């Protein structure tokens, strides 16, 4: 790994030439001594990916949503105007009642990082730098003015504040958690300079203790392999994670020998000779391709077996880094509980390893762990730094309310939409709605389920879901190919009543946000009947709940209590009473390249452009084949994967 030490950028950006880049202390957030009028705080994330808005009232989360759900543009990075308007409507709030607006990033520091990085590698990367410069000089660098222009209704007396990127991630992880005290670990691509932070939360106080700095980034390392395997960066990482179990970890040692110098405390250096993200032309370069045995996979091209092994290898390395970071956080803070955020915290396989290793007694993971959650974290950081926040104290509980923080629609509003489409539907009372849905599930029907408030974050948790019978051997392929229009290897998640989870999975903890992977219980597994390898293993039945059992006998589990979602809990109860099975398939209501649906109109359009069998939206049930046979145009442009 001599190349890691000799790389020009590593030397210039190692900061005081410290042997481990995890040794830089963070200062607490500044300029937040706000002494009055802090009831309503609006948090924003924008301009990079997954823009969002979140609103607090007296420290409680009133609303939060991603802009993509309204614009219908996946991972929309534009200013979250529609998400902001939703938050204000949900709170019945006027603009002059907003007491502070907080952005989740400090753009001047980020620009300084870009400039210093460019100077370190100049003249390489000059084309990318000059291309990005006008945007920065136009809107991003003078962000205070940009935000004022985007929010002309906001009174000039309302303060515009900025937190650091990882400070916002850490706040989103700790403050909504049910823990009075906890270690906090944030891991992503990059914020201003930080790519990883370790901190500690205690009551109202949250302090970041150490950080790992750009360009040494676990998120960027994983995204490099995402791009190399033919998936889109910032949206395809979960595909790489799903692909990994089909391969063998043949390249783990190569990655550790050549690409990443990993230390016992989880800190590391990347060997920048193999990466292209500094120059901005691509995530990797030709040396990376040579090391990995050939050129990158082109999007939509056949999946060569070697990419399965590559996916498995980087997943194994990622898990090892996370385990070492967690052990270091435990030793440093002495805490028994851990809170996680940042994009890498969405790697539910790594989270499952953390849970099973028992490094911490309990985990809590922010469901909107990526940049969208930064909007919420920024608002929470300001509230807890304000005099009102300090005075009110903090009641430890899961303040995310099941992540059901988005819009909801009345039966009257839904019916107006259905009539506008000339839809054919039946209306049911709640008990009959559940009974009829259970009947359809028993017939192996694929059902769109739209109820209550939309989820905040990337996972459908029972309100904007597509559901099916997990016992069906055909459900996974039907959902992937005829409904979701996505790769056949992609697994589906089970949603199960919390009290029954240990009967089906090797999991004894809560997993309300579908962010833990756990093995299926041995008693439910079926022995392999052939010697299939690679993606051919898709054809094998692996358990008595095959639709939610991945190729490695694992599942991404969502647990549910009656308090979290009474209607869906009743559906699970009724399904178990009818079948003896307490779980269902639960996947997001969207198709490939489309954001999760938000409104009844989104639901109907998506429903009619798939081979979904039924739509249950509010108190109404629709059968697809009974609908008028006319073209229903989409309201979005799918992005290529």
pLDDT of residue 640 exceeding 60: no
- Higher confidence at residue 499 or residue 146? 499
pLDDT of residue 414 exceeding 50: yes
In this structure, are residues 44 and 385 in contact, taking their beta carbons and an 8 Å threshold? no
Tens-place pLDDT, residues 149-202: 999 999 999 999 999 999 999 999 999 999 999 999 999 999 889 999 999 999
CA–CA gap between residue 52 and residue 598 (Å, rounded)? 14
In this structure, are residues 185 and 338 in contact, taking their beta carbons and an 8 Å threshold? yes
pLDDT of residue 461 exceeding 70: yes
Confidence of residue 297 (pLDDT cuts 50, 70, 90): very high
pLDDT of residue 11 exceeding 50: no
Confidence of residue 460 (pLDDT cuts 50, 70, 90): very high
pLDDT at 137: 56
pLDDT at 128: 62
CA–CA gap between residue 171 and residue 168 (Å, rounded)? 5
CA–CA gap between residue 96 and residue 155 (Å, rounded)? 6
pTM exceeding 0.85: yes
What are the tokens at 534? 């690679």
pLDDT at 628: 92
DSSP-assigned states of every residue in 101-167: EEESS-HHHHHHHHHHHHHHHTTTTHHHHHHHHHHIIIIITTHHHHHHHH-TTS-TTS-EEE--HHH
What are the tokens at 67? 């802009």
With b meaning 16 or more CB within 10 Å and e meaning fewer, what string describes 488-510? ebbbbbbbbbbebbeebbbbebb
Within a 13 Å sphere around the CA of 145, how many CA atoms are in the beta-carbon half?
7
The per-residue pLDDT of the chain, averaged, comes to 88
Q: What is the mean pLDDT of residues 14-37?
A: 38
pLDDT of residue 125 exceeding 60: no
First to last CA, the chain: 34
pLDDT of residue 279 exceeding 90: no
The rounded percent of the chain whose pLDDT value lies above 90 is 74
pLDDT of residue 67 exceeding 80: yes
CA–CA gap between residue 254 and residue 312 (Å, rounded)? 13
Return the closest-CA partner of residue 458 out of 52, 102, 44, 71: 52
pLDDT at 34: 53
Confidence of residue 483 (pLDDT cuts 50, 70, 90): confident
Confidence of residue 5 (pLDDT cuts 50, 70, 90): very low
In this structure, are residues 163 and 381 in contact, taking their beta carbons and an 8 Å threshold? yes
Return the closest-CA partner of residue 622 out of 632, 631, 630, 612: 612
Q: What is the mean pLDDT of residues 21-25?
A: 34
pLDDT of residue 16 exceeding 50: no
Which residues share a beta bridge with 496? Answer: 559, 583
pLDDT at 480: 82
The rounded percent of the chain whose pLDDT value lies above 70 is 86
- Higher confidence at residue 9 or residue 588? 588
Q: What is the mean pLDDT of residues 246-256?
A: 97
- Compute the Cα dihedral for 333, 336, 342, 343 and give only its sign: positive
How much is the CA Rg of the chain, to the nearest whole Å?
Answer: 24
Q: What is the mean pLDDT of residues 198-219?
A: 95
pLDDT at 571: 98
pLDDT at 520: 97
CA–CA gap between residue 208 and residue 185 (Å, rounded)? 9
CA–CA gap between residue 174 and residue 295 (Å, rounded)? 42
Q: What is the mean pLDDT of residues 403-417?
A: 98
Tens-place pLDDT, residues 514-540: 999 999 999 999 987 667 777 767 777
CA–CA gap between residue 480 and residue 492 (Å, rounded)? 9
What's phi and psi for 484, nearest 5 deg?
-85, -20
- Compute the Cα dihedral for 28, 32, 33, 38 and give only its sign: negative
pLDDT at 140: 60
pLDDT at 282: 86
CA–CA gap between residue 193 and residue 313 (Å, rounded)? 27
Q: What is the mean pLDDT of residues 436-448?
A: 97
């Amino acid at each position: 790994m001599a190349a890691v030490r000799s790389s020009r950028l590593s030397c210039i950006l190692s900061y005081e030439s410290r042997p481990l880049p995890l040794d830089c202390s963070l200062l607490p957030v500044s300029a937040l001594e706000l002494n009055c009028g802090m009831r309503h705080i609006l948090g924003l994330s924008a301009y990079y990916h997954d823009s969002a808005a979140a609103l607090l009232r007296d420290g409680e989360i009133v609303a939060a949503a991603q802009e993509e759900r309204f614009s219908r543009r996946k991972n929309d990075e534009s200013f979250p105007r529609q998400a902001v308007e939703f938050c204000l409507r949900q709170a019945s709030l006027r603009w002059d009642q907003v007491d502070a607006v907080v952005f989740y990033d400090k753009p001047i520091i980020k620009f300084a990082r870009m400039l210093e990085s460019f100077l370190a590698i100049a003249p390489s990367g000059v084309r990318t730098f000059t291309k990005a410069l006008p945007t920065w000089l136009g809107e991003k660098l003078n962000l205070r003015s940009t935000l004022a222009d985007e929010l002309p209704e906001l009174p000039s007396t309302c303060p515009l504040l900025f937190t650091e990127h990882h400070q916002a991630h850490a706040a989103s992880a700790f403050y909504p958690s049910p823990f009075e005290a906890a270690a906090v670990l944030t891991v992503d691509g990059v914020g201003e300079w930080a790519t990883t932070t370790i901190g500690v939360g205690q009551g109202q106080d949250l302090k970041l203790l150490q950080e790992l700095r750009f360009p040494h980034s676990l998120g960027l390392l994983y995204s490099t392999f995402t791009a190399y395997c033919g998936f889109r960066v910032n949206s395809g990482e979960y595909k790489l994670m799903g692909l990994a179990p089909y391969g063998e970890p043949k390249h783990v040692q190569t990655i550790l020998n050549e690409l990443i110098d990993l230390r016992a405390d989880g800190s590391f250096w990347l060997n920048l000779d193999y990466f292209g993200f500094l120059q901005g032309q691509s995530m990797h370069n030709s040396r990376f391709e040579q090391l990995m045995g050939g050129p990158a996979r082109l999007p939509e091209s056949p999946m060569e077996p070697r990419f399965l092994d590559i996916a498995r290898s980087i997943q194994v390395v990622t898990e090892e880094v996370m385990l070492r970071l967690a052990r270091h956080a435990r030793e440093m803070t002495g805490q028994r509980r851990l809170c996680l955020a940042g994009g890498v915290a969405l790697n539910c396989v790594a989270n499952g390893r953390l849970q099973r290793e028992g490094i911490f007694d309990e985990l809590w993971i922010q469901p909107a762990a990526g940049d969208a959650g930064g909007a919420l974290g920024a608002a929470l950081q300001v509230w807890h730094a304000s005099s009102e926040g300090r005075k009110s104290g903090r009641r430890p509980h899961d303040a995310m309310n099941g992540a059901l923080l988005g819009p909801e629609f009345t039966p009257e509003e839904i019916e107006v939409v259905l009539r506008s489409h000339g839809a054919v539907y039946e209306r049911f009372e709640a008990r009959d709605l559940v009974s009829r849905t259970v009947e359809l599930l028993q017939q192996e029907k694929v059902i769109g389920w739209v109820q209550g408030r939309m989820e905040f974050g990337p996972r459908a948790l029972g309100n904007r879901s597509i559901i099916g019978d997990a016992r069906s051997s055909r459900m996974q392929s039907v959902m992937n190919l005829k409904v979701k229009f996505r790769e056949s290897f992609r697994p589906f998640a089970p949603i199960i009543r919390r009290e029954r989870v240990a009967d089906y999975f090797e999991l004894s903890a809560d997993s309300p946000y579908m962010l833990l992977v756990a093995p299926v219980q041995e008693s439910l597994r079926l022995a392999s009947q052939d010697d299939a390898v690679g993606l051919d293993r898709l054809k094998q039945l692996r358990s008595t709940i095959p639709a939610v059992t991945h190729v490695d006998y694992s599942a991404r589990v969502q647990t549910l209590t009656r308090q979290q979602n009474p209607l869906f809990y009743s559906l699970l109860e009724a399904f178990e009473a009818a079948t003896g099975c307490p779980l269902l398939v639960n996947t997001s209501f969207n198709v490939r390249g489309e954001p999760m649906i938000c409104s009844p109109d989104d639901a109907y359009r998506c429903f009619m452009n798939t081979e979904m069998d039924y739509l249950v939206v509010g108190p109404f049930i629709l059968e697809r084949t009974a609908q008028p046979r006319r073209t229903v145009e989409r309201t979005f442009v799918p992005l290529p994967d």
